[in-house]
Amino acid sequence: MPKVLHYLNQFFAGIGGEEKAGQEVIFLPQAVGIGNAIEKSLQEHGVEYATLVCGDNYFHEQEELALRTMRAAIDRFQPDFFLAGPAFNAGRYGIASAKACSWVRDNWRIPAITGMHENNPGTQEIGRHVFVLQTGASTASMAEAAKRFTALLELLVAQDPAGAEAFRAEHCLPIPRRFTVKTGKPDYVRAIELMLAKIHGAAYESEIPLIATARHTIPNLTVNLKDATVALVTEGGLVPKGNPDRLESSRGSRYFKYSLAGLDDLKCGEFAAMHTGYDTSMVDEDPDRIVPLDAMRELEKNQRFKKLHERYFVTTGTGAMPSKMAELGAGIAADLAQSGVNAVILTAT
Amino acid sequence: MVLITCLANVAAQVGVGRIVGGNKFHYPVGQPELPAEEERRWRIALMEKALATLESKADKPTEV
């Protein structure tokens, strides 16, 4: 008979509100609150259900003591599954749920499931392998959250790891963080093992979660090129001499635009690249090698397109977070659209 | 938008629509081994290719 242990805070256990936030850890040999709904849905599996209650303040002020009491309860009850939450957007309970689940998963190697809203600060505390069900921000999504806990538990009880992973992909929050994992092997051995597993089609898991890239539709030119204003954009870090705006040489957090008015060619010594991701000496020698102004002026003169936008845009792409680059890209695109630019040529190193 | 890069496979993986192969990653639109005027002519030809790519219709990542 599978055993489920569910950690609830004082509020979701129905003990009380803020005045009971100092409640110390208690073990109850039955389902409480949302646990009742989950237990009922799992009836046919004959689940044995127990609850740990801990006040939000108590967990944070007496974390060591709280975990010690929880450890004793876990050792005695021997759960097969550990649940915490849903915490929705409740910060204290979200963090406590994340910490408790990560701690249980690491120490007992049993599946640990929590649930919260994507903005809950608890998402920053999630350990590897913990399931974090996505919920709404408030208790209005309680019924839906209970269904998701139940559905995932059913897959785990049925020992359907592929089903559970598919469920994770669809309903769990991605945790795009890197974790320190001790493998007992040098990194190059680990890297080669991962590569061989991939080549041979064997199962493997990277310590570095992949960040999903947002797909978007590819825009086509809406005007004839002869009537188009074209802009040059680069992530290659090219800035006027002296780097007047202090563009970072890696992990760019801002973008800048610099005038090309009156210039037909970018000259050595007048512009230079701020970028630790590539050897900039060839670009510094002739900046047209990253911002091809000389060629574009020639094609502009030949009326291949109407006009080169009077400024080029620049940031530094190396080492940057994709989310930050998406933000900068959106800013550049909005600026270009407002300036009536029809097309962009982006050079990347 | 057209992207000029020598890492076309990476660009295609992240969904860039129009990709033109650049020369080297530390000078995608440069060819320093050529004399200056020849390099300029080479670059004009590359940018002409980029402009022609801008005019093309694309519904999936396409490398030219």
Q: Distance (Å, rounded) from C-alpha A183 to C-alpha B3?
A: 39
- What lies within 8 Å, CB to CB, of A101 at 6+ separation is A82, A84, A112, A113, A114, A126, A127, A130
A295 inside 8 A of chain B by CB:
yes
Q: Distance (Å, rounded) from C-alpha B25 to C-alpha B23?
A: 7
Amino acid at B21: G
Strand boundaries in B1-64, DSSP class E: 2-5, 18-21, 62-63
Burial label, A136 (beta-carbon count in 10 A; 0-12, 13-18, 19+): middle
| Residue A237 tokens, joined | 């870090």
pLDDT in tens, chain A (349 residues): 899 999 999 999 999 999 999 999 999 999 999 999 999 999 998 899 999 999 999 999 999 999 999 999 999 999 999 999 999 999 999 999 999 999 999 999 999 999 999 999 999 899 888 999 999 999 999 999 999 999 999 999 999 988 998 999 899 998 767 777 778 889 899 999 999 999 999 888 777 766 666 678 899 999 999 999 999 999 999 999 999 999 999 989 999 999 999 999 999 999 999 999 999 999 999 999 999 999 999 999 999 999 999 999 999 999 888 888 989 999 999 999 999 999 999 999 9
What are the pLDDT digits (tens) for B3-55? Answer: 999 999 889 888 899 999 999 999 999 999 999 999 999 999 999 999 999 99
Amino acid at A81: F
Per the DSSP assignment, residues forming a β-bridge with A116 are A134
> How much is the pLDDT for A174?
83
Indicate the helix (H) or strand (E) that contains B9.
helix B8-13
Q: Distance (Å, rounded) from C-alpha A75 to C-alpha A94?
A: 24
Phi, then psi, of A28 in degrees rounded to 5: -120, 130
**What is the sign, positive or negative, of the torsion defined by CA atoms of A272, A275, A281, A283?**
negative
Pairing of strands A311-314, A343-347: unpaired
Of A310, A292, A294, A315, the closest CA to residue A234 belongs to: A315
A302 inside 8 A of chain B by CB:
no
CB contact under 8 A, A295 and B1: no
| Residue A4 tokens, joined | 């489920």
* pTM tops 0.80: no
> How much is the pLDDT for A212?
65
SS (H, E, C) A262-295: CCCCCCECCEEECCCCCCCHHHHHCHHHCCCHHH
CB contact under 8 A, B14 and A213: yes
Of A294, A301, A251, the closest CA to residue A271 belongs to: A294
Please identify among residues 16-55 of chain B the ones whose CB lies closer than 8 Å to any CB of chain A. Answer: 17-18, 22, 25-30, 32, 36, 39-40, 43-44, 46-48, 50-51, 54-55
ipTM over 0.85 threshold: yes
Indicate the helix (H) or strand (E) that contains A234.
strand A229-234
Per the DSSP assignment, residues forming a β-bridge with A320 are none
> How much is the pLDDT for A211?
66
Q: Distance (Å, rounded) from C-alpha A149 to C-alpha A41?
A: 10
Shortest Cα distance from A165 to chain B (angstroms)? 23
Terminal Cα-to-Cα distance of chain B (whole angstroms): 13
Contacts of B5 in chain A (CB under 8 A): 347-349
A313 inside 8 A of chain B by CB:
no
Q: What is the DSSP string of A61-109?
A: HSHHHHHHHHHHHHHHH--SEEEE---TT-HHHHHHHHHHHHHHHHHH-
> How much is the pLDDT for A210?
67
Which residue on chain A is closest to B59 by alpha carbon? A218
Of A307, A311, A315, the closest CA to residue A342 belongs to: A307
> How much is the pLDDT for A99?
96
> How much is the pLDDT for A216?
82
How is residue B24 annotated by DSSP?
A: B
